[in-house]
Chain A
């Protein structure tokens, strides 16, 4: 279980660019929850994910993972609990290193690294098996540099890397947004297979409301640094895109106009 209690974050405090990105945010993520996160631009979705991952210290509040208070832990210490896939396919992999090197780095997420070999023969089989699950033929290219892969292939590898060592929580921040529609669909399908197949706990930010409704067991909507709508189970399954738009207008008092959300109706 992961919990955020009264978490706030203000960027550029005391300047004209001051921005309260998280405003007393509360959220409890149960084990096995696959939560989709929606909300307008600047609502604080990425900030929430980054706060959980420890990219920056929060101003106040408490973040717990499996009962451990990690609020003050730096990013690299929380890494043992968290797998991440970023929006930018370039960000999740080391381009100059081989596919198997990237996977081996990910397999050691959160472990103390020593002077043993990074690449081990007995682990290669795992890499091959896992890569073949992607169905991209990468299992025969273990020693190719990742920089040779396409954006979609890299994103698929990143997804694999984030889950190679089972994470307590998987954070996906618009991880298909930079891909062309066909590739995005492939990566999304892989995401469902992995998260549902391995019963992972995950937070997935998306601007596609249909995806947000059809994927996962729970949906949360954010606005101005708060969670304004949290729905799960049967109620979520019955949702329509129109429902969501109405909910948003009612809760925030503004319209979803001029927003990417409109486009993906």
Chain B
């Protein structure tokens, strides 16, 4: 029982830290309508930069901020590829992500893994002072960070620049005609998004006490899955802050499901497939429902015409039916 409790606790803490990444994905995917594949690379980048900085003696808080800024710059690269050079958004993200793989290895000195060992971190700081366990401390730090991030995003998207950014995702032609350079809003959104993803990577690395070249693999799909889960669970919320909160809840639930599945003997490597299926199904269901409804709504005979005896529509239908028979 205590084993299960431990698993739950670990998953919830990680979920909250991953939730920061999901908030980043939310900005690009939900507000800008761009599935930004930079995420996988910028998450790892945040972790790598932060751990290397910590190991070289930099203050852990500063190291975490460096992880954030590294992600921000990765997002800016994608943004420049997309806006200045007009490379499609998805491809821009892929290019940055692929490039980051080499960059991340370079940052970690060619090693695929960078353990923090007993080095100080923002989490060990709390552990030392309170005597809590690593994952309990991570949960506290994570919750504080999530509250700060949601508050900042809530404020930002209520400002003029933030509103212009939302409008860019909603109707780019309109907002351009209203005098906004949508290259700028897209660049801001991609940078902000990946900054949060980098911050999340930095925090997860500190919780797990290491950075790994593969730590961000599938991050974008996890982000989308978490958003989908959050939307299903809290589909009635209208308030923007609560919508952001639901994305974080989605991340927690995703990581809980993953932890339990592994506990039940599922191979951790299968999780990628499960996430991909989850997102694919979530995106496919609305489309399938619409097609089914269209099909169900079709009737061989025009019921409307049949009800309105002698209307032109019915006469026309009969005439064409006759013509069909003659044709055969």
Contact = CB atoms under 8 A, between A and B. Distances in A.
B179 interface: yes
Given A76-B182, A79-B179, A113-B180, A92 B174 contact: yes
A95 B33 CA distance: 14
B174 A93 contact: yes
Contacts of B170: 94-97
Contacts of B181: 74, 76
Interface stretch (B10-18, B110-118, B153-161): B153-161
User: Of B162, B166, B179, which is in contact with the most chain A CB atoms at under 10 Å from its CB?
Assistant: B179
Contacts of B130: none
Contacts, number: 81
B285 interface: no
Given A104-B163, A114-B159, A116-B160, A109 B178 contact: yes
B287 to A, nearest CB: 19
Given A79-B179, A109-B178, A111-B179, A91 B161 contact: no
A110 B179 contact: yes
Interface in B117-176: 156, 158-164, 166-167, 170-171, 173-176
Given A115-B161, A118-B158, A79 B167 contact: no
What secondary structure prevails in chain A residues at the interface with B?
loop
**Taking chain B's interface residues, is the majority helix, strand, or loop, or is none over half, making it mixed?**
helix
B164 A105 contact: yes
B323 interface: no
B177 interface: yes
Contacts of A75: 176-177
Nearest to A88: B173
A118 B160 contact: yes
A116 B159 contact: yes
Contacts of A74: 181
A106 B163 contact: no
B174 A113 contact: no
A93 B166 CA distance: 13
B27 to A, nearest CB: 15
A121 to B, nearest CB: 13
Interface of B: 156, 158-164, 166-167, 170-171, 173-182
Interface of A: 53, 74-77, 79-80, 82, 84, 86, 91-97, 101, 104-106, 108-111, 113-119, 161
9 contacts: A75-B177, A79-B179, A91-B171, A96-B166, A97-B163, A105-B163, A113-B161, A117-B158, A117-B159
